Amino acid sequence: MASSLKRSKLQSSTSKRTIISRLEALQARLNARILLVEANHPENKRDYPVLAYTDNNQKEFNKHTIPICYYNGQWRQLGHLLTYEAPTIGDPIAIVETYDLPSEEFSFAC
């Protein structure tokens, strides 16, 4: 059974979280293990599209699939602030860059 891209647990203070726009959350580098998860996808529990890192070359969901974004030159976990229904920047995830493909930065947004 595939895991859901659940909302991150909230910290008690919003000042500890960096909120980004939904468009910023779709900025990326080409990567062999990143996929776009549309807002209406059954595994996406948010009301907006997100990028997800999969731990396999087939880009299949499993319990290790996590929402991510490319922010300030780093792959970061993507959180969600319920108060504002907005994406937030989480911790860096260094393993993701191992699968970057040679290219410029781009956006999954149209």
pLDDT averaged over 10-residue windows placed end to end, the chain, 110 residues: 48 66 94 94 93 94 93 95 94 95 69
CA-angle at 5, arms to 14 and 55, nearest 5°: 115
pLDDT of residue 8: 44
Residue 2 included in any domain: no
pLDDT value at residue 61: 86
Cβ partners under 8 Å of residue 2, min gap 6: 43, 60, 61, 62, 65
Residue 1 located in a structural domain: no
Residue listed under structure tokens 């008690």: 12
Q: How many domains does the chain have?
A: 1
**Which domain range does residue 60 map to?**
14-107
Q: Is 3 a member of any domain?
A: no
pLDDT the model gives residue 17: 83
The answer as to whether 8 is a domain residue is: no
pTM confidence score: 0.80
Question: Which helix (H) or strand (E) is 75 found in, with range?
Answer: strand 74-81
